[in-house]
Amino acid sequence: MVDLSQIKEHAEVIGADGVHVGTVDHVDGDRIKLTRKDSGALIEGATGSHEGHHHYISQGLIAEVEGDGTVRLSANADVAVTFEEEE
């Protein structure tokens, strides 16, 4: 399991395929809160858009935090956004 303390604000969140999913606002418990401006960005293959409110990525979807701070997910971007939690 990934140590969430390694995740920094404004880090890029990418899918396993390298496609941008969002930008970290902050860590909230056992999940990442994405910035509102980036949250719900349209990703090719994803259905709909949920812009205007925050989305969260569960710790279980995080594969690793890379050396440059990038958060890489275990699922491709178009699949990962279907697992995002809204609030």
Spatial neighbors of 36 by CB under 8 A, at least 6 apart, are: 25, 52, 53, 54
pLDDT of residue 19: 95
Question: From CA 41, how far away is CA 1, in angstroms rounded?
Answer: 27
CATH number at residue 46: 2.30.30
Question: From CA 73, how far away is CA 28, in angstroms rounded?
Answer: 17
pLDDT of residue 38: 64
Q: Could you list the mean pLDDT of each consecutive 10-residue stretch along the chain, which spans 87 residues?
A: 93 96 94 78 48 81 95 94 80
Domains held by the chain: number: 1
pLDDT of residue 86: 76
Give the residue from 21, 25, 23 showing the smallest Cα distance to 43.
Answer: 21
pLDDT of residue 84: 80
pLDDT of residue 51: 53
Share of the chain residues as helix, strand and coil, in percent rounded to the nearest 5: 15, 35, 50
Domain encompassing residue 14:
4-86
